[in-house]
Amino acid sequence: MSKFTDEDDALLTELGVEVEAKKDTARTPREERIIAGFEEIQRFVAAHGRAPQHGEEHDIFERLYAVRLDRLRVQADCRSLLAPFDHQGLLASATPAPDDAADDISDDELLAQLGVESGTSKDITELRYVRSAADKRAAEEIATRERCEDFDRFKPIFNAVQSDLDRGIRITQPIRKEAGFLKTDIKAGEFFILGGQIAYVAEVGETFKAPNGESDARLRVIYSNGTESNLLLRSLQRALYKDEVSRRVSEPSAGPLFASESEVDDLGSGTIYVLRSKSDNPIVAANRNLVHKIGVTGGDVAKRIANAKLDPTFLLADVEIVATYKLYNLGRTKLESLIHRIFDPARLDIEIKDRFGNPVIPREWFLVPLFVIDDAVEKIKDSTISGYVYDPKSAALVERRGEVTRG
């Protein structure tokens, strides 16, 4: 089958659609509902970095997904059907739920609180509250994700890009629809971060007119996990919009984030870096995707973290770089103080022992989502950050009340 006739489930979590059955393998309505329900769980995992959990402390949607996942795991036919789509290992990595977790509140009871009618059956295979493929599918906008047969040819490219990101040679920038990100910005050779994977636009097919009159093209997109998809240009654009943490990877020669170029009288240059700890500390491990160290350095970030596991500042553990932002015309010390003040309400309260048994309280770690840090950087860029402070309850930057401290 030609690569330009397959359709993509790699972007289903962003597009909110089901896998379209291949022409030679028809699926029953029951199977399509099972897949659709599983995809909703996958979208939750992609957004939160963990499987849905039971318990009253979690919201109604998460509890519903947890019940649904439990039922899918115990049904052999469901596991067999979903195995090709389970790239997150949800069916194989089951964590035993409390004995009464699945029966604590039924799907119908959960749905009633949501104001959705589920029908009379409690069987997960019916999933009456999930829209059918026909309702959600747009013609020619879906593509089936498949194994990239020639990934060996692309693997060195991904390794090089990751190395550039680690060393600060490339930076990642959030994608903002309101900033004018267009289909024409997606070209062969571009790199994006989508759904936690680096996506490489390897090929752009011939341009054609879509039913709505706009121009479009079929793409070949390679993902860093060794898969690929052939989706429409507008589908990738839409997926990048819908993924709140999607990013564009710059070219190595791209200019700095806060100035078009370095001038002789610049105040200084440096890099804002965001790190994630690999510590096995219970507090850190329980909040792995939220605990970030935010700092500013004038040197190489990779060198800065080289001895992390020996440094209490880094929680005596290795770290990974999750974002970097190159800057000019800003004093590094003042900028770092400003960032820490903004996120002070979410500062991580943790004490560790150094190598000599002395207590240390690291001060640069915060419980804050990466997309909020992106927002803060944007506000630093447009000089409005001094009017905001982080609100842990809403997980967002909010306008500071009262007198505004100029930063």
Angle at 328 (CA atoms; ends 373, 399), nearest 5 degrees: 35
Residue 385 vs residue 24, higher pLDDT:
385
Using CA atoms, how far apart are residues 252 and 234, in angstroms rounded to an integer? 26
**Tokens representing residue 228 in the block:** 């690929």
Mean of the per-residue pLDDT values of the chain:
75
Q: Give the max Cα distance, the chain.
A: 73
Q: How confident is the model at residue 93 (pLDDT cuts 50, 70, 90)?
A: low
Angstrom CA distances, 57 to 63, 108, 219, 394, 395, stand at 9, 19, 43, 16, 17
Domain limits, the chain:
18-134, 146-249, 269-399
Q: How confident is the model at residue 20 (pLDDT cuts 50, 70, 90)?
A: very low
pLDDT at 142 over 70: no
Residue 245 vs residue 264, higher pLDDT:
245
Q: How confident is the model at residue 109 (pLDDT cuts 50, 70, 90)?
A: low
pLDDT at 11 over 60: no
pLDDT at 263 over 50: no
CATH class belonging to 146-249: mainly beta
pLDDT at 363 over 90: no
User: Could you report the per-residue pLDDT of 274-330, keeping only the tens digit for each?
Assistant: 999 999 988 898 888 899 999 888 788 888 888 888 888 889 899 999 988 877 655
Q: What are phi and psi of 343, to 5 degrees?
A: -100, 15
Q: What is the pLDDT of residue 50?
A: 87
Q: What is the mean pLDDT of residues 137-160?
A: 74
Q: Which pTM does this prediction carry? A: 0.37
Q: Pick the closest to residue 238 from 45, 14, 43, 44 (CA basis).
A: 14
- Name, in order, each residue with C-beta under 8 angstroms of 398's C-beta and a sequence gap of 6 or more: 388, 389, 390, 391
Q: Look at residue 314 and give its three-state secondary structure.
A: helix
pLDDT at 118 over 60: no
Residue 9 vs residue 401, higher pLDDT:
401
Q: What is the pLDDT of residue 310?
A: 86
Q: What is the mean pLDDT of residues 25-35?
A: 79
Q: What is the pLDDT of residue 74?
A: 87
Q: What is the mean pLDDT of residues 162-178?
A: 74
Residue 139 vs residue 199, higher pLDDT:
199
Q: What is the mean pLDDT of residues 79-93?
A: 85
Q: What is the pLDDT of residue 294?
A: 92
Using CA atoms, how far apart are residues 225 and 196, in angstroms rounded to an integer? 10
